[in-house]
Amino acid sequence: GILCLLYRLIMSDVPEHPAALSKDGKERKDSGDYSPYLKSQAHLLQPTEDNPLPTAVPPPTSALAGTLGARHVLCFIGLPERGKPFLAHRMSEYLSFFHGASVKRFDLTQYAAATGAPAGSEENADAVLRDLKAFMSSSPAAGRNMDACSGKMRTSSLSEPSLSDAVDEVEPVVVAQDSMRQQAVDSGRVALIYATDTFASFGELWSGTSKERRRWAYDKLQEDQSLPIELIFIEVIIRPDAGRNLVNANIRSKAAAQGKPQPSVMEVKRIHQRITEYARSYTTLQDDGSEDDIAFVKLIDYGKRVIVNRMHGYLRMRLVQFLSTIHTTPHVIYLSRHGQSEYNVLAKIGGNPPLSPAGEEYARRLGEWVPKHVWLKDGKLVKARLWTSSLQRTILTAMHIPHPLIPAADFDEEEEAGSAAAASAAAAWKKNERKQNVWEQTAPRVHRSLDEIFAGEYEGYRYEEIKAKDAGEASLRKLDKLGYRYPRGESYFDILARLDPLVH
* Local confidence pLDDT in tens for the 504 residues of the chain: 554 554 455 444 443 333 333 334 333 333 334 455 567 778 888 899 989 988 876 666 666 665 566 799 999 999 999 999 999 999 999 998 888 788 999 999 999 999 999 999 999 999 999 999 999 987 544 332 223 233 333 333 333 333 333 333 333 333 334 444 444 455 579 999 999 999 999 999 999 999 999 999 999 999 988 888 999 999 999 998 767 888 998 999 889 888 999 999 999 999 999 999 999 999 999 999 999 999 999 999 999 999 999 999 888 988 999 999 988 878 899 999 999 999 999 999 999 999 999 999 999 999 999 999 999 988 999 999 999 999 999 999 999 999 999 998 898 765 454 544 555 555 555 555 555 689 999 999 999 999 999 999 999 999 999 999 999 999 999 998 988 999 999 999 999 889 988 887
Asked if residue 384 lies in contact with residue 377, where contact means CB atoms within 8 angstroms, the answer is no
DSSP for residue 358: H
- pLDDT at position 178 is 46
The distance of Cα 450 from the centroid of its chain, to the nearest Å, equals 17
Could you tell me which residues come within 8 angstroms of residue 466 by beta carbon, excluding any fewer than 6 positions away? Answer: 458, 473, 474, 477
Contact (CB, 8 A) for 82 and 250: yes
The residues that bridge with 5 in the sheet, in sequence order, are none
- For the chain, how long is the longest CA-to-CA vector? 86
- The pLDDT of residue 114 is 95
DSSP characters for 407-434? EGGGS--------HHHHHHHHHHHHHHH
Helix%, strand%, coil% for the chain, nearest 5 = 45, 10, 45
Among candidate residues 237, 417, 238, 242, the one with its CA nearest the CA of residue 327: 417
Which residues partner with 191 through β-bridges? Answer: 73, 104
50 CB neighbour count, 10 Å cutoff? 6
User: What domains can you pick out in the chain, each with its CATH number?
Assistant: 2-150+175-323 (3.40.50.300), 342-503 (3.40.50.1240)
Question: Cα(485)–Cα(37) distance, rounded to whole angstroms?
Answer: 13
Q: What is the per-residue pLDDT for 97?
A: 85
pLDDT value at residue 390:
97
Taking CA 196 as the corner, what is the angle to CA 245 and CA 331, rounded to the nearest 5 degrees?
45
| Cβ neighbours of residue 198 closer than 8 Å, sequence gap 6 or more | 78, 79, 80, 81, 84, 278
Whether the model pTM is above 0.85: no
Those residues with Cβ within 8 angstroms of residue 377's Cβ, 6 or more apart along the chain or in another chain: 332
At 257, which amino acid appears?
A
